[in-house]
Amino acid sequence: MKYKMSPNIAVRTEDKQKAIDFYSNVIGFAERKSNKEYADLDADPINLFVIEDKEITGPVMELFVDDLEKAKEELVSNGCKVVKWLGKGQDCYIRDPFGVTFNIWENSKQ
């Protein structure tokens, strides 16, 4: 299985507006888009998404894969735990043995 790091990182937090204010006003990342679901901030060279979530909090990095289900099987067999799995084109969160959470995204344009 080949994994490729995505330029997307999400910060999932219980207080979306407070996080947007921090990353925009303190850190200086420009807000590109904001709606009820998320805010997209320009943290060049990455895209920083702020998402309100009361269950999963903290940073979520993203990995691109060719085969979502094969990646899930391989990662779980190597000590990862499924945190949230909604299937292709949606959130598929896995936490690695070291506490890092990744969104696994099937992307044929690697």
Instruction: Sketch out the chain's domains with CATH numbers.
Output: 4-106 (3.10.180.10)
Per-residue pLDDT in tens (0 to 9) along the chain, 110 residues: 899 999 999 999 999 999 999 999 999 999 998 898 899 999 999 999 999 998 888 999 999 999 999 999 999 999 999 999 999 999 999 999 999 999 999 986 54
**Secondary structure class of 103 (helix, strand, coil):** strand
Is there a contact between 5 and 61 (Cβ–Cβ < 8 Å)?
yes
pLDDT score recorded for residue 108: 66
DSSP state of 82: E
Q: Phi and psi of 16, rounded to 5°?
A: -60, -45
Sheet architecture: strand order including 4-13: 30-34, 38-43, 46-52, 4-13, 58-65, 101-106, 92-95, 81-85
pLDDT score recorded for residue 107: 84
pLDDT score recorded for residue 82: 98
Question: CA angle, 45 as apex, 9 and 48 as ends, to 5°?
Answer: 30
pTM of this structure: 0.87
Q: Phi and psi of 37, rounded to 5°?
A: -80, -40
